[in-house]
Structure 1
C-alpha cells in the first residue's frame, strides 16, 4: 500500500520526506494488524450495548471548554466504514516531528499526526484564507449557497482562524496527558478539488444511539416539578408555555447543528468562541458549571425528600449526608463502566411517570385520583406566582450543551432532523403526561415534587411507592458521577470537595421547586434559547431570511425578559408572593 502524498506546503528536506513515507508505511502495517482484532467489537454490531456506551461516553464530555483535543484517533483514507482505528498514543513514536532550530515543534495530537494529515508547517503568522482554514467555509456553503465573506463577519472569521490554530497548537502536556477513559473521536483527512486539505471528525453514532443520547439528556428530574409549574400558570397559560418551550428548544437545537456544521467546530464552547471571542468561552464554562451544580443539588434534595417521606425518622438532613457519602466513591468509577448504567436514567424517569398514572387510576377517590380529579383552574389563582412557572416549565429542556457533540458524532448527519423529531415528540409527550396527571390528581395541593405527594398520600400500593423511591435513588447515581477517571491526588480532592459543596448547598437550599425554577429561568433559557439564537445571528447574519431574523430577535427579547423575571422570582420569599 503506497504512503500518502507529501504535503506541498511542507518545508521538509527530501530526506525528511522519505522518512515520512517510511513512517506512513509502518503505520499502515500496524493498522492492518489492528483490523482483525477490532472488527468484531467495533463494526460488527453498530447498535450493540458496548457501542451505545461508547456513544454516550463521547457525548458526556460536553462541559469541557478548554481547547483540548487529546482524544482523537486517525482513520486511513481507505477506511470506508470508520470502524477500525489506531490511537494517537500508539502512533506517537512514529509520527513525532523533530524540530529544527528555527521550527516550532508540534507536540499536539494534530501536530504529531501531521505526516498522516498532510497539514505541513503552520507559520507563526496564521494566514486566514479558505485554503488554510476550512472553518466557516465549505461546510456552511452548501446550506446557503453564498460565499464566506458575504455571510460571515470579519470578527467571526478571525475567531474561527484562532480556534483552528488552537486545535493544532495545543500545549504539549495536554497531548501527553491522554485519558484512557475518554472515548476518542475519529479524525480523517480529506482533499478538496482546489487541492486544499482538511481534517474532519468522522461520526460514529447511529440514529438509535443519537436518539438515546438526546433523550437521556432531556429526560430528567425537571419533569417532577411540572405539575407545580402548571398549577402556578393555569391551563390557559401553562399548556401553551409548555408547547412554546418544546418548540423553541427544538428550533434552537436545529440551528445549533447548522452553526456547528463545520469540520473544525466540535463543542458548544467552540461556537461561543467564534461568535463572541475568548471571553464567551469563559462565560459558557461558568454557565455549564452552574447548571451542573444546580442539577446535582436538586438530585440530592429529591433523594433525601423521597427517602424521608417513605422511611421517616432519620430526617432529610441525614439522608442528604448519606447521599453525599454514596456519591463520593461513585466518582472514582471509570466513566466507561457507568455509561451503560446511564440508560437507567431514561428507564427510571419513564417508570416514575407510569407508576404515577397507575396510582391515579387505582385510587378511586380524591386526593391523588385520576378517576376523581381535584379542582383545577383555567387561569392562575395567584398571578404573582406565574413567573415561577417560567423556570419550572423550562427546566426539563436543558440539553443543548450536549447537542453539538451529539450531532458531530452522527454517522449520517442528514438524519439529525429525524432524530430530533423523535426525541422531542417522546420527551414532550412524557412531560405533558406528567404535568397534566400530577395537577389533576392533587390540584391546588400539589407539592414541589409530585413524588412527594404520592409518598405522603394514603391509598396507594406500598410496593409502587417503594419502586418510586428506588428509581429516584438510582437517578443521582446515573447522572452525577459521569466524569473521567481521576488519577492525581489534586483531582481526587477536588472531586470530593465538589460533592461536599453539592451536599452543603442542598442542606442550605432545601426547596426543590426554587432550585428548579432558578435552573430553568436563568440557565436553561440562556443556554438553550438565548445563546444558540445569538450564535446563529452572529455567524450567519444577513444570510438568514428576513422573516426568520425577525422571529429570532423576538425570541431573544421574550426569552430574555422571561429569564430575568423568572430568576428574580426564584429568590423572592414565598410569603411575599402569597405562597405558603
Structure 2
C-alpha cells in the first residue's frame, strides 16, 4: 500500500521529507557522495542549455571532473594524511578560487570539498569526506570502460547506503555529459509535489500565531501591505536562490552558495546566522508551550515551571534518532493547520463580542500609534524563514526547472493561511489581542471546552516535535567544536567504540544546549518580541538580503539594468526595515506603545 503511486507514493513522500528534515545545518556538513546507480555517464546534452544552465565549464572540464572524482573516491585516504596534507591540498585546489577568474575557468565546488573550504575550527575535526568503499553492503560493481578516470565504480544502493551512513543521508551524484564534456552533478530525488510539501513544512511555523497582533499594531492598510510585500519579496528571493544554484550544478546547500559568492568568511557568517535563527525559533517554541499551558491551567504551575517541564521533555526527545524525529515533525505542521481551523470555528461558534466573528471587534485602518509599525514588520517577516534550506530542497528535485512552480504554490498556500489567521484574529479581538492568538482563546471560557483542550494538545505537540529537530544542528555544531562528533564508520574505524568520556561529553552537550534555550526563554519571556527579532533581524538577512546579494554577485555581468536597480532598491529598503525593526525589539514596550 505504501508504494501505490510510484514516485509520488506515501513511502516516497516519507523518504523525501526525511531528507528535507536533515537539510537544516549550522556548520558546513561534509556530505558523503555516492555515485548514482547508472554505470554510464548520463547524456544530458539534449535538454541542458549551456547558457541557461550556467555551467561555465571549458575544455579543461575533463581534468576538473577527474579531480572531482578523485575527491569523491579518496576521502578516507586524504583524511588519514592529517591536517598538513589537507592544508597543502587546499592551497593547491583553491589556487584558482571560485571567486577568481572568469566564470568559464572557475572550479567546481567538488574541486574544493566542503571540509577544505570550512574554517579552521571546523575543518580541524576528522570528519570523513567521500564515498564509503570498505564497508560491505549491497552494491552492483561495474567497470565503466569509457570513463575518463579508468576506475572501478562501486554503484551503491541508496537504501543500503542510507543505513550505512547512519543519520546523514549520502548525496547521490551522477556523471552528466554536457556536449563533449563530462561533469559530476547532484542527482535530485524528489518530485514537484514532494518539493512543495517539503517547502510548506519548512515555511509554516508558529510565527503566524502573532500575525493578528501585527495587524493590530499596523492597521488594516499598512498591515495588508507589509504582509503582501514580505510574501512577494521572499517568494522572489526564493526563485533567485534557484537561479543561483544553476550557477554551479555542484552547489548543494545555502552555505555552499555563500562560499561560492563571497568566500569562506561568508560561510562563517551564514553559520552564525543559522545558529541565531535556530536558537530564536526554539526559544519561541518554549515560550509558546509555557504561555499556553499556564493560561489553560492557571494556578497549577507558573510559566517558568512549564518552561522547565518543556526543557526536560525536549532533553529526552533529543535522544531519538533523526529518522524518527523527521516523521514526527509532520505532526507539528498538522497541529499548526488544525489550530488555525479551531480559531475560525471558535469565532463562528461564539455569537457575541469579544472573540466572535459575528460581532467583530473595533479595528483601525491605520496604526493607532506609528511607533509600533517596526515591530509589526518583524512579526510579519517571521513566517517566511525557510530560505536556509531552499537550496537543498532545490538540489533534491528531480526536475529543478519546476522550482518556480514549487515556490509559487508554496507561497500562495502560506500567504492564504497567514492572511486568513491574521484577519480572523484581529476581527475577533481587535485591540485586545495578545502576543499569540491562542492566548486569547485559552483564557476565555465561552468557547467549547473540547475544542480548547484539543487546541492545547496541538500547542503542546508543536514544540515537542519541532524543538528537537531544530536543536539537532546546534548539538551537532557543539559536538564538532568539542571534537566528539560521531563520524561515519570507515573500514577498521567501524569497530571502534567511543569511550565513556566521549559519551559523557555528548550527554553534557545536549544538557547544556537545552539549558541555554531554557535560560534565554526565561530572560526574554515575550513571545512577540522573540518573533519580531527573528523576523526583523534574521529572516530579513537570510531570506531577503543575502539571496539578493548572492544573485548580484554571481550574475553581475548578465542581469539587466532594470533588474539591478530593483535588486538594489530592495536591498536598501529591507536593510533599513530590518535594522529599525531589530532595534525596536529591544526597546521597552511602553516606549514603542506595543
Instruction: Work out whether the TM-score is over 0.5.
Output: yes
| Map of 1:278 onto structure 2 | 264
1:456 paired with 2:443, answer yes
| Map of 2:360 onto structure 1 | 373
- Structure-2 change in CA distance of 1:356 and 1:236 (3 Å): same
Residue pair 1:215, 1:427 contacting (<8 A) in 2 also: yes
Q: Deviation of residue 158 (structure 1)?
A: 9.0
Residue pair 2:94, 2:112 contacting (<8 A) in 1 also: no
Residue pair 1:163, 1:270 contacting (<8 A) in 2 also: no
Select between 336-345 and 324-333 the one with higher mean Cα deviation. Answer: 336-345
Unaligned runs of 5+ in 1: 1-39, 82-103, 115-121, 136-151
Inter-partner Cα distance in structure 1 for 2:40 and 2:466: 35
Counterpart mapping for 1:263-302 below 5 A: 263-302=249-288
Inter-partner Cα distance in structure 1 for 2:588 and 2:91: 57
Q: Deviation of residue 537 (structure 1)?
A: 0.2
Helix, strand or coil for the counterpart of 1:415?
helix
Helix, strand or coil for the counterpart of 1:541?
coil
1:497 paired with 2:512, answer yes
Q: Deviation of residue 575 (structure 1)?
A: 1.4
Deviation per CA, 1:382-427, whole angstroms, max 9, x where unpaired? 1111110010000000000010000000011112111111111110
Inter-partner Cα distance in structure 1 for 2:390 and 2:537: 19
Q: Deviation of residue 376 (structure 1)?
A: 0.3
2:526 corresponds, among 494, 504, 511, to 511
Deviation per CA, 1:130-188, whole angstroms, max 9, x where unpaired? xxx9x8xxxxxxxxxxxxxxxx8749889865773225969793217984111222111
| Map of 1:395 onto structure 2 | 382
Deviation per CA, 1:335-378, whole angstroms, max 9, x where unpaired? 11122222212211111111000000000000000000000010
Helix, strand or coil for the counterpart of 2:7?
coil
Counterpart mapping for 1:236-315 below 5 A: 236-261=221-246, 262-313=248-299, 314-315=301-302
Residue pair 2:290, 2:306 contacting (<8 A) in 1 also: yes
| Map of 2:310 onto structure 1 | 323
Helix, strand or coil for the counterpart of 1:175?
coil
1:212 paired with 2:200, answer no
Unaligned runs of 5+ in 2: 43-66, 78-88, 118-122, 133-163, 477-484, 487-501
2:31 corresponds, among 67, 70, 77, to 70
1:56 paired with 2:56, answer no
Inter-partner Cα distance in structure 1 for 2:72 and 2:17: 23
1:480 corresponds, among 464, 467, 475, to 467
Inter-partner Cα distance in structure 2 for 1:460 and 1:110: 63
Inter-partner Cα distance in structure 2 for 1:418 and 1:47: 17
Counterpart mapping for 1:145-224 below 5 A: 154=101, 164-167=111-114, 173-175=126-128, 179-194=165-180, 196-224=181-209
Using the size of structure 1 for normalisation, the TM-score is 0.79
Helix, strand or coil for the counterpart of 1:535?
helix
Inter-partner Cα distance in structure 2 for 1:200 and 1:80: 11
Inter-partner Cα distance in structure 2 for 1:337 and 1:359: 34
Inter-partner Cα distance in structure 2 for 1:551 and 1:124: 38
Inter-partner Cα distance in structure 2 for 1:515 and 1:205: 34
Residue pair 1:331, 1:481 contacting (<8 A) in 2 also: yes
- Structure-2 change in CA distance of 1:205 and 1:437 (3 Å): same
- Structure-2 change in CA distance of 1:315 and 1:256 (3 Å): same
Q: Deviation of residue 523 (structure 1)?
A: 0.3
Residue pair 1:110, 1:168 contacting (<8 A) in 2 also: no
| Map of 2:63 onto structure 1 | none
Residue pair 1:233, 1:379 contacting (<8 A) in 2 also: yes
Residue pair 1:205, 1:409 contacting (<8 A) in 2 also: yes
1:537 paired with 2:559, answer no
Q: Deviation of residue 74 (structure 1)?
A: 1.4
Inter-partner Cα distance in structure 1 for 2:352 and 2:560: 55
Q: Deviation of residue 189 (structure 1)?
A: 1.6
Residue pair 2:68, 2:110 contacting (<8 A) in 1 also: no
Counterpart mapping for 1:114-133 below 5 A: 125-126=92-93
Inter-partner Cα distance in structure 2 for 1:265 and 1:41: 32
Inter-partner Cα distance in structure 1 for 2:20 and 2:262: 24
Inter-partner Cα distance in structure 2 for 1:291 and 1:157: 36
Residue pair 2:537, 2:578 contacting (<8 A) in 1 also: yes
Residue pair 2:242, 2:391 contacting (<8 A) in 1 also: yes
Residue pair 1:226, 1:434 contacting (<8 A) in 2 also: yes
| Map of 1:149 onto structure 2 | none
Inter-partner Cα distance in structure 2 for 1:279 and 1:43: 47
Deviation per CA, 1:283-339, whole angstroms, max 9, x where unpaired? 100100000000000000000000111111211111100000000011111111122
Residue pair 1:67, 1:166 contacting (<8 A) in 2 also: no
Residue pair 1:128, 1:161 contacting (<8 A) in 2 also: no
Counterpart mapping for 1:84-99 below 5 A: none
Residue pair 1:448, 1:512 contacting (<8 A) in 2 also: yes
Residue pair 1:62, 1:268 contacting (<8 A) in 2 also: no
1:233 paired with 2:218, answer yes
| Map of 2:339 onto structure 1 | 352
Inter-partner Cα distance in structure 1 for 2:251 and 2:439: 43
Q: Deviation of residue 441 (structure 1)?
A: 0.3
- Structure-2 change in CA distance of 1:558 and 1:123 (3 Å): closer
Counterpart mapping for 1:399-438 below 5 A: 399-438=386-425
1:525 corresponds, among 533, 537, 540, to 540
Residue pair 1:159, 1:273 contacting (<8 A) in 2 also: no
Helix, strand or coil for the counterpart of 1:238?
helix
| Map of 1:46 onto structure 2 | 7
Residue pair 2:295, 2:442 contacting (<8 A) in 1 also: yes
Inter-partner Cα distance in structure 1 for 2:112 and 2:512: 35
Helix, strand or coil for the counterpart of 1:186?
strand
1:111 corresponds, among 70, 74, 85, to 74
